[in-house]
Structure 1
Amino acid sequence: MATKPEIVIASSNPNKIREFKEMLEPLGFTIKSIADFDNIPAIDENGKTFEENATIKAQTVAQALQVPVLTDDSGLVVPAINGEPGIYSARYAGDHDDEANNQKLLKRLQHADDRNAYFHTSLVVMKPTGEKLHVTGIVSGEILTEPRGENGFGYDPLFYVPTLQKTLAELTDDEKNQVSHRGRALEKLQQVLNDWW
């Protein structure tokens, strides 16, 4: 029996890795993360877009490990504040400090009438040869004035989805996978990955 293809997720975020495993393992892929390896070079995310940053990460790790790599670059975009926090979402107020990031966002939106926002995900799968597959996903919503829900991370407790009348942090993992930007991008990836492979 042929061994299942292995994909390394270029992230050390346990929440993201869990979401990827839930979506891709049923397709027969073996999922590992960069936490399973020692020789990962430093990654300089100096791109100007989500796709550029995801590509930089994928390329660096695929070349270092000589295995196919899946990476994402995701972020929250709030048009009323010039698209902030955008590609700087994880380090908006401090490196991966969710609480500080949320507080800075609320402060920036203090006097805003327009609280519309969307989450964007760019997913890139890259083979060691440099062959690349790119898909995107978006979920639209609005930013609340205070957090709600316990089941999310990042900006999830502030991000309200009007059609569900809940924040992303009030959804179960299954519900979130169905509507989230990463879930939508992964659905597209599921449709094209086997053919591309």
Structure 2
Amino acid sequence: MAPGKLVLATHNPGKVVELAELLGPHGLEVVSAGSLGLPEPDETETTFIGNARLKALAAATASGLPAISDDSGLCVDGLGGAPGIYSARWAGPGKDFAVAMARVNDELGDKSRTAHFICALCVAWPDGHSEVVEGRVDGTLVWPPRGGNGFGYDPMFLMDGQAQTYGEMTRAEKEADNHRARAFRQLVALLPARPA
């Protein structure tokens, strides 16, 4: 990734903060799709990778700048991988993740509480070229949710080997080795400098 301006193809403020912090040290001036007034494309793909690519290409085409997008979600083994790519939709139109977490817990009942977070990251250029990587962290779901940090399903996700949920960790602790950080490390290693 050559230094310069890069569009974050998201309207999620939590993702904007997290990705901007990861990208900052690489000499990239980050602007969000929301701040540019770009529309959110319909996520019509059936995989995290497909949706990440769709969003990055839409932002790169609309802005004329390289764009990076993230599609991520919680996959619960006892729910056959749900909510998966529909993780944000489970929170409803008001994006109320307390509702989403309660739904996950209610539907789980006594089924397996093992789960994982997936993050697919795609960087796309206005010429249509794109590169995609995927990061994953495994863990267990707790109930009731613990902690008020993070966003989404963080307060109910306990990463393997940790004593605190993502909701109890500081942002620095969570971002040191979460699914997004793992995907980002792969993306940086994969990409040569490429002109916009």
- Structure 2, unpaired ranges of 5+: none
Distance, in Å, in 1 between the alignment partners of 2:47 and 2:180 is 16
Distance, in Å, in 1 between the alignment partners of 2:177 and 2:103 is 25
Q: Which of residues 34, 57, 67 is equivalent to 1:69?
A: 67
2:113 — aligned with what? 115
1:183 shift after superposition: 1.2
Distance, in Å, in 2 between the alignment partners of 1:141 and 1:42 is 30
Residues 123-181 of structure 1, C-alpha deviations (whole Å, 9 max, x = no match) = 00000001111111001000112100111111000001231211011111111111210
- Between 1 and 2, higher relative CO (CA 8 Å, sep ≥ 6) is seen in 2
Within a 5 Å distance, the mapping from 1:27-176 to structure 2 comes to 27-38=26-37, 40-95=38-93, 96-112=95-111, 114-176=112-174
1:192 shift after superposition: 2.7
2:18 — aligned with what? 19
Report if the CA contact (8 A) 2:10-2:40 is conserved: no
Report if the CA contact (8 A) 2:73-2:87 is conserved: yes
TM-score by length of 2: 0.93
Aligned-residue identity in percent: 38
> Does the alignment pair 1:181 with 2:179?
yes
Q: Specify the code of the residue in structure 2 equivalent to 1:124.
A: C
List structure 1 segments (4+ residues) > 6 angstroms apart after TM superposition. none
Report if the CA contact (8 A) 2:7-2:32 is conserved: yes
- Structure 1, unpaired ranges of 5+: none
Report if the CA contact (8 A) 1:91-1:97 is conserved: no
Cα 1:42–1:14 shift into 2, 3 Å: closer
TM-score by length of 1: 0.92
> Does the alignment pair 1:7 with 2:12?
no
Counting helix residues as a fraction of each chain, which structure ranks higher? 1
Cα 1:42–1:74 shift into 2, 3 Å: closer
1:8 shift after superposition: 0.3
Cα 1:91–1:172 shift into 2, 3 Å: same
Report if the CA contact (8 A) 2:57-2:130 is conserved: no
Cα 1:138–1:196 shift into 2, 3 Å: farther
Distance, in Å, in 1 between the alignment partners of 2:19 and 2:6 is 10
1:103 shift after superposition: 0.8
Report if the CA contact (8 A) 1:5-1:30 is conserved: yes
